[in-house]
Amino acid sequence: MSTKMTYDKNSSPNAIATKSMGSDWVLTLGIVFAVTFNSANLYAQEVTTKEEKSKEAEVEKIQVIGTHIMGSEMTAMLPVTVLTKEDLDTIGAVEGEELLRSLPQAGSVNFNSNNSAGGVNKARGDVASVNLRGIGTGNTLMLINGRRMVLHPGFHNEGGVPVVSPNMNSIPTNAIQRLEVLRDGASSLYGADAVAGVINNVLKNKLEGTTIQTRYGEAERSKRYDFTASLRSGFSLNNAATSVSIFGDYSRRGAVESTEYEQSRSGNYLRFLEGTAWEGNTAFDNRSSSTAWGGF
């Protein structure tokens, strides 16, 4: 492109008139550049869209259990502890009560296998109650794959108040794939029985084959023994469209009498203090003065 510079006699000396040559060629070049730039931009957008779609296809399946209710951001996040399969294998619990006691958030298990607990446990020692954060039995919601668990058909007095609870021992530990513990109150989502929190038991599925596990242990110088057996089996039907899983647990423990141990045969502990500064101190004689036997 050539440009010719001339001075206009009728204008001031500082005024310069510029005359451009070949303006049509400049216009054609601008149109070609604009078309090329727009094509490159469209191609970049198409490549970016394909990359985003490929990334979306790579995202794994996300499963959300619960109910979503819109609220403020302050209450949108709740603390959750998740025990994976590796964590459960490390704990190695053979009963639901043992698994429950391994949680730092678990309170006292008032429904237990102790025969002296009374109430429903006097007849059924296989019951394990749920008590998150020590708020009290009956305030923790138990779920199985996101569905409410049926309460155990019995009650126990706790603080003079009859309470009911789901039975943690009714779920075979070898059937649990993942344990999700909501460590905060969720009564606004689930109801009054979730004041202390929620425990969701995610069970294993799509099993193939059969697995049997047994364990036996005993204590020295006593009749105490512990025997457990677990069964896990599964198979598929309808070209793998239907999966059937079967789980089962069996547990039996031997009772330990207080007379089997020297330290618990009698409430009189004076014999252990012989030769010490507390020898003869009657404060260590814890035998009751009121017995079922007459004194003559």
Q: What CATH number is attached to the domain comprising 115?
A: 2.170.130.10
Please check whether residue 274 lies inside any domain of the structure: no
Higher pLDDT, 288 or 68: 288
| Full-model pTM | 0.58
Among the candidates 159, 174, 204, a domain finishes at 204
Higher pLDDT, 11 or 221: 221
Q: Which of 25-29, 83-87, 122-126, 291-295 bottoms out in mean pLDDT, i.e. has the lowest?
A: 25-29
The model's pLDDT over 91-141, given as tens digits with 9 standing for 90+, comes to 888 888 888 888 888 888 877 766 444 454 454 567 888 888 888 888 889
Higher pLDDT, 36 or 153: 153
Percent of all residues in the chain with a pLDDT value above 70, rounded to a whole number: 68
What is the structure's pLDDT at 12? 44
Span 44-66, average pLDDT: 61
Judge whether residue 172 has pLDDT over 80: yes
Please check whether residue 137 lies inside any domain of the structure: yes
My answer on whether 147 and 43 are in the same domain is no
My answer on whether 151 and 190 are in the same domain is yes
My answer on whether 88 and 171 are in the same domain is yes
My answer on whether 88 and 40 are in the same domain is no
The neighbour count for residue 131, using CB atoms within 10 Å, is 23
Greatest CA span in the chain, whole angstroms?
150
Is the alpha carbon torsion for 91, 153, 121, 214 positive or negative? Answer: negative
Higher pLDDT, 200 or 25: 200
Please check whether residue 196 lies inside any domain of the structure: yes
> By three-state DSSP, how is residue 276 classified?
coil
Residue 95 · residue 145 · CB < 8 Å: no
Please check whether residue 243 lies inside any domain of the structure: no
My answer on whether 87 and 42 are in the same domain is no
My answer on whether 49 and 108 are in the same domain is no
Task: Show the domain range for 30.
Answer: 3-55
My answer on whether 121 and 14 are in the same domain is no
My answer on whether 9 and 44 are in the same domain is yes
My answer on whether 47 and 98 are in the same domain is no
Mean of pLDDT over the chain:
74
Cα separation, 46 vs 81, in Å, equals 42
Please check whether residue 240 lies inside any domain of the structure: no
Report the chain's terminal Cα–Cα distance, integer Å.
136
Judge whether residue 187 has pLDDT over 60: yes
Please check whether residue 155 lies inside any domain of the structure: yes
Cα separation, 250 vs 173, in Å, equals 11
The model's pLDDT over 3-48, given as tens digits with 9 standing for 90+, comes to 444 444 444 444 433 344 445 544 454 544 444 545 545 445 555 5
Provide the domain count of the chain: 2
What is the structure's pLDDT at 200? 92
Q: Which of 36-50, 70-84, 219-233 bottoms out in mean pLDDT, i.e. has the lowest?
A: 36-50
The neighbour count for residue 144, using CB atoms within 10 Å, is 18
My answer on whether 94 and 36 are in the same domain is no
Please check whether residue 147 lies inside any domain of the structure: yes
My answer on whether 184 and 135 are in the same domain is yes
Please check whether residue 70 lies inside any domain of the structure: no
My answer on whether 179 and 87 are in the same domain is yes
Cα separation, 190 vs 121, in Å, equals 28
Name the residue among 28, 49, 46, 50 with its Cα closest to residue 38: 46
